[in-house]
Amino acid sequence: MPTFFFKSLLLVVIAWICTAPVFAQPQSARPSDLPANPASFSFKVMTWNIWRGGREDGEKIGPARVVDVIRNSGADLVAMQETYGSGEWIGKELAFHFHPRGTNVSIYSRYPILEDLSVFEEFKCVGALVEVPNVGPVAFYSIWLPYGEDIWLPEIRGKSDDVAMIAATQPSADDLQKMLAAIQDRLADPKYRDVSLVVAGDLNSMSHLDWNSVAMAQYGRTIQWPTSRLMSAAHFRDAWRETHPQVDRSADATWSPRFPEQEQERIDFIYYRSQKLRAVQSQRLCEHAELFPSDHAAVLATLAVTDTSSAAPEIQVASWNIRRGHGMDNRTDLERTARGLQSLSADVIGLQEVDLGARRSGQVNQPEFLGQQLGYHPAFGSFMDFDGGRYGLGLMSRYPLARVEELRLPEGNEPRVALVAELTLPDNRQVLVVNVHFDWVKDDRFRLAQAKQVAEYLQRQELPWILLGDFNDQPDSPTLKLFREFAINAEKAGDQRGTYPANNPKSEIDFIFAGPRSDWSVSPAEVIADPLTSDHRPVRATLKLLPKR
């Protein structure tokens, strides 16, 4: 917990807990409780910092309320922080296996604990191999990470620039990097190859998946928090963000239900990496009939069996210049645009000419609105400040985003970026999607310079990638020939190839590519007959990512 944490440690009596036993007769799942079809099985994971052993409101009543919250949640596995002397009693009341380490972090499990997997410092990390029915062994870790300064206090946050903010949470990233390396070494034995991994806890840092360009109005800036970036780079999925595609700072926050005057942030996380499991639901718990016993909200995620290890992902991809929702009838109607996007039934959609807060389109956060309408993960890349807001590119993704970045391109008639998003597919493979809108003037020098920078970027990548967008150039142009040299073009079928103008399309300027060539099977693209919603028609193609070699 951020506020006065280190001072509070001096008040805790904890020595006796260090050797607390694992209970012999917990409440394990019985055969009659399990589904006849293992594929329908799910279980619930909680992470919770219970605040000084849950005893802040009373030596007995506080831990009793902790038990109430856990029991009512239906949690099967609990990663606890600030256990401080309350763990054994809580475990007995729940009739769960209790697996402590040191004084701070501990694990509770409805299911049998097979093995201790603890690594790193005992105050900050405890791990156990848990036998989850219909899933098999799950490596489960409860962690607590430190921080350098209490940036949750408004008086400190108000004085902190981006550099100071990152510096305040750098201790979290430093410890996490060592911890992840230790976990990887601990699970290096081939017997753990197919084990699902869950890492949950109080990270005392925020997430780059929250502090993004779409949600800038909520946070005031974008920050690439190093702690969450480490988890994404290690191919962990953020259960909360995966099941809550739209950022809502108030609804997402876990710090702090007891200190509403402080900066409200999401600093407690459930991360997982598995070929067998997917997060299907998650919720924040911060209420009790009498008084919620902690300064942290608990996070509860439901993980369901969805084995996709043998699947070769087939991705429906679309690109559409939506002209800020301004149709050929000269009406701006973003709801009409949303309906058009829904009708594409695409998994990933690159959008060009997107406004965020600009007066000309009603000061609407267009990527946020469209993401909400589709239930997709939205991303935004800004070309420039414009008309009281920003103007640029958007992306809608059915799949969770691992990172989003802007690749600044050579300026032409207007500033330009390529919007780069790393997606996590159902089989845990990562794919880059690069969305472009090249310069539109007749002289192609600017356009070709932008294309060359994108081409050089793509050819340096190790991940499979998809390139799509409004290229503002014809198929036989130097711009398009450049990409055909090293990528697969989703060639449009038949003679309906024009994408612009929408009411009489004669120019083919919107395209979809995939690369490297050896990683993809690409079906012909199609131009969708929509003459009204925008001045461009959308393009859609099916891309199949080939099995790993």
**Residue 252 has which token pair?**
């997402």
**Residue 341 has which token pair?**
């996007």
- How far CA 387 is from CA of 337, 360, 362, in Å, comes to 21, 7, 11
Among the CATH numbers 2.70.70.10, 1.10.1060.10, 3.60.10.10, 3.40.50.300, which is that of 42-305?
3.60.10.10
pLDDT for the residue 41:
95
Using the predicted structure, report yes or no on whether residue 90 has a pLDDT greater than 80: yes
pLDDT for the residue 31:
39
Give the mean pLDDT of 12-22: 33
Question: Which residues are registered as beta bridge partners of 336?
Answer: none
Interatomic CA distance for residues 200 and 143, integer angstroms: 6
Least confident of 169-183, 309-323, 473-487, 528-542: 309-323
Give the confidence band of 381 by pLDDT, cuts at 50, 70, 90.
very high
Alpha-carbon dihedral sign for residues 350, 355, 361, 365? positive
- How far CA 184 is from CA of 117, 130, 178, 188, 194, in Å, comes to 11, 17, 10, 6, 13
- How far CA 347 is from CA of 213, 341, 393, 424, in Å, comes to 21, 11, 17, 12
pLDDT for the residue 117:
98
Residue type, 319: S
- Between strands 389-397 and 526-527, the pairing is unpaired
pTM for the model stands at 0.92
Torsion of CA 172, 173, 179, 182, to 10 degrees: -160
**Residue 468 has which token pair?**
């799509």
Using the predicted structure, report yes or no on whether residue 19 has a pLDDT greater than 60: no
Give the mean pLDDT of 296-320: 88
pLDDT for the residue 499:
98
N- to C-terminal Cα distance for the chain? 45
Interatomic CA distance for residues 43 and 387, integer angstroms: 49
Q: Which of 282, 251, 245, 283 is nearest to 369 (CA)?
A: 245
Give the confidence band of 39 by pLDDT, cuts at 50, 70, 90.
confident
Give the mean pLDDT of 165-169: 96
Q: Which of 500, 486, 485, 498 is nearest to 525 (CA)?
A: 498
**Residue 45 has which token pair?**
């994971």
Using the predicted structure, report yes or no on whether residue 16 has a pLDDT greater than 50: no
pLDDT for the residue 40:
85
- Provide the 3-class DSSP secondary structure of residue 94: helix
DSSP 461-489: -SS-EEEEEE--S-TTSHHHHHHHTTSEE
Give the mean pLDDT of 411-425: 95
Q: pLDDT tens across 208-240, in order?
A: 999 999 999 999 999 999 999 999 999 999 999
Q: Which of 275, 127, 151, 257 is nearest to 201 (CA)?
A: 127
**Residue 298 has which token pair?**
């608990």
Third-level CATH fold of 314-545: Deoxyribonuclease I; Chain A (3.60.10)
How many other C-beta atoms can be found within 10 angstroms of the C-beta atom of residue 119? 22
User: What contacts 445, CB < 8 A, 6 or more positions away?
Assistant: none
Interatomic CA distance for residues 405 and 273, integer angstroms: 23
Torsional class of 123: left (φ above 0), alpha (ψ -120 to 50), beta (otherwise): alpha
| Sequence-ordered strand ranges (E) for 286-347 | 298-305, 314-321
pLDDT for the residue 376:
98
pLDDT for the residue 493:
86
Using the predicted structure, report yes or no on whether residue 20 has a pLDDT greater than 50: no
Query: Angle between the 226-233 and 162-186 helix axes, to the nearest 10 degrees?
Result: 30
Q: pLDDT tens across 401-414, in order?
A: 999 999 999 988 99
| Sequence-ordered strand ranges (E) for 35-110 | 42-49, 77-81, 97-100, 106-109
Instruction: Check whether the bond before 516 is cis (ω within 30° of 0).
Output: yes
Looking at the chain, the whole-number percentage of residues with pLDDT higher than 90 is 88
* Contact in structure between 47 and 270 (CB atoms under 8 Å): yes
Instruction: Check whether the bond before 31 is cis (ω within 30° of 0).
Output: no
Using the predicted structure, report yes or no on whether residue 303 has a pLDDT greater than 90: yes
- Between strands 539-545 and 510-515, the pairing is unpaired
Give the mean pLDDT of 173-188: 98
How many other C-beta atoms can be found within 10 angstroms of the C-beta atom of residue 475? 16
Interatomic CA distance for residues 428 and 236, integer angstroms: 9
Using the predicted structure, report yes or no on whether residue 11 has a pLDDT greater than 60: no
Domain extent listing, the chain: 42-305, 314-545
Question: Which residues are registered as beta bridge partners of 281?
Answer: 302
Q: For residue 220, count CB atoms less than 10 angstroms from its CB and return exposed for 0-12, middle for 13-18, buried for 19 or more.
A: exposed
The answer to whether the 42-305 and 314-545 domains have the same CATH topology is yes
Alpha-carbon dihedral sign for residues 344, 345, 351, 355? positive
Using the predicted structure, report yes or no on whether residue 178 has a pLDDT greater than 70: yes
User: What contacts 233, CB < 8 A, 6 or more positions away?
Assistant: none
